[in-house]
Amino acid sequence: MFIIKHKKIFISFSISLVVLSLLSLLIFGLKVGIDFKGGALTEVVYTTLRPAQADLDTALQSLELGSVLVQPTGNTGYIIKSRDLNDAEHALVLKTLSLGGKNELTETSFNSIGPSVGKELTRKAVIAIILVSLAIVCFIAFAFRKVSRPVSSWRYGFIAIITLLHDVIIPIGLFTILSHFYGAELDTLFVVAILTILGLSVSDTIVIFDRIRENLNNQVNISKSNFSEIVGGSLEQSFVRSICTSLTVILVLLALFTFGPVSTKYFALMLTTGMFFGTYSSIFLASPLLVLVEEWQKR
């Protein structure tokens, strides 16, 4: 099987993608959205032409609301990001945006989140991440509870966790780039996307590993030299299935990304990336790693 033969190329490819993602995370950082840190987001659409951004900037500065960020959206709209606003401040901002009633506008959405709600959401997100990770690790431990040779059970589990990290880090890397260039912000849906990727991609790796162990058991005498052949054979048996199950999910996700609501665009993109690399890693990373570990063991 060529994947096993050229395993070093595939493993290096994955490593470089992960390193790149981590680098972009370090360099660009993640912009935390108002879901978690609190703040207000006002979206307005002007009836005719929108005023120049510079005019709004100066007008809003005079309100002394701290830093106010104005971003154009659509053809005649703006998104205004600021700290959380009370009713009076909100009314004042709307009045300022219309430049004293001169420019007619309608407010399409307004979202103001107090700092305590943001804190609560952060706490919930952290708990959910911890619980899902724990549940997935338990699930892996359960899936590999039977002892097996020549590579011991816990190594399968360990590799499964490494591939999971790989599947999650790459979408995060992509998100930091989106965040840097298109202003995507870390929100609740980001966390949901990460957790869903964990759930979707873990089973793929486990199913392939199961097939490998099934084939190992069928072999009465495992001479250690043909371990890589058995892994290669198992891959050949299961990669079509693996690609097909992911493909159906990726198809619907692409539909969601291309045609779906604006609010779930980045969410769909993150999941698509996660799904894609989840499938990639279960075929091109997990099994090659397994063979690599076995080779190291032999030395």
Partner 1 sequence: MSKTFKKVILAIIVLMFGAGIGLFVYKSEPKLNKNFETERTFFKNHPFRLGLDLSGGSHLIYKADVSGVPGDQISDSMDALRDVIERRVNLFGVSEPVVQVQGGGFISGGENKLIVDLPGITDVEKATAMIGETPLLEFKIERSKDEPITIKPGKDGKIDAEALNAQQQFVSTELTGRYLQKATLEFDQNTRAPNISLQFDDTGTKLFAEITKNNIGKMVAIYLDGLPISTPVVREVIPNGQAVISGSFIPTEARELVRNLNYGALPLPISLLSKQTIGATLGDNAVVAGVKATIIGFLLVISFLILWYRLPGLVAALSLCIFITIMLSLFKLVPVTLTAAGIAGFIISIGIAVDANVLIFERIKEELCSGRSVTDAISAGFSRAWFSIRDSNISNFITALILFWFGTSLIKGFALTLGMGVLVSMFSAITVTRIFLSLFNFVGDGKVAKFLFSSGITR
Nearest distance, CB of residue 29 and partner 1, angstroms: 24
Determine the longest span between alpha carbons in the chain, in angstroms.
Answer: 86
Contact (Cβ atoms closer than 8 angstroms) between residue 240 and residue 213: no
Long-range contacts of 230-233 (CB under 8 A, 24+ apart): 231/1, 231/4, 231/287, 231/290, 231/291, 232/1, 232/3, 232/4, 232/287, 233/1
How big is the site for partner 1, counted in residues (CB under 8 A)? 71
- Which of 263, 295, 297, 298 binds partner 1 (CB under 8 A)? It is 263
Residue count of the chain: 299
141 makes contact with partner 1 (CB under 8 A)? no
Nearest distance, CB of residue 179 and partner 1, angstroms: 19
Q: Binding segment for partner 1 among 62-70, 84-92, 144-152, 291-299 (CB under 8 A)?
A: 84-92
- Which of 3, 172, 198, 235 binds partner 1 (CB under 8 A)? It is 198
Q: Please, which of residues 149-188 interact with partner 1 by CB under 8 A?
A: 188
Q: Which amino acid is at 147?
A: V
189 makes contact with partner 1 (CB under 8 A)? yes
- Which of 76, 89, 114, 158 binds partner 1 (CB under 8 A)? It is 114
Which residue lies nearer to partner 1 by CB, 34 or 59? 34
Q: Please, which of residues 11-40 interact with partner 1 by CB under 8 A?
A: 38
Q: Please, which of residues 201-260 interact with partner 1 by CB under 8 A?
A: 202-204, 206-207, 210, 237, 240-241, 244-245, 247-256, 258-260
Which residue lies nearer to partner 1 by CB, 12 or 109? 109
Q: Which amino acid is at 284?
A: F
C-alpha–C-alpha distance, residues 130 and 124, integer Å: 10
83 makes contact with partner 1 (CB under 8 A)? no
C-alpha–C-alpha distance, residues 89 and 203, integer Å: 50
- Which of 20, 137, 192, 292 binds partner 1 (CB under 8 A)? It is 192
- Write the interaction track for partner 1 spanning residues 45-64; mark x where CB under 8 A is met and - where it is not: --------------------
Q: Count Cβ neighbours within 10 Å for each residue of 187-223 and write b for 16 or more, e otherwise.
A: bebbbebbbbbbebbbebbbebbebbbeebeeeeeee
Which residue lies nearer to partner 1 by CB, 91 or 222? 91
Which residue lies nearer to partner 1 by CB, 124 or 149? 124
Nearest distance, CB of residue 297 and partner 1, angstroms: 27
136 makes contact with partner 1 (CB under 8 A)? yes
C-alpha–C-alpha distance, residues 238 and 204, integer Å: 10
Q: Binding segment for partner 1 among 4-12, 122-130, 224-232, 289-297 (CB under 8 A)?
A: 122-130
C-alpha–C-alpha distance, residues 172 and 2, integer Å: 30
DSSP 53-119: HHHHHHHHHTT--S--EEEEETTTEEEEEES---HHHHHHHHHHHTTTTTS-EEEEEEEEE-HHHHH
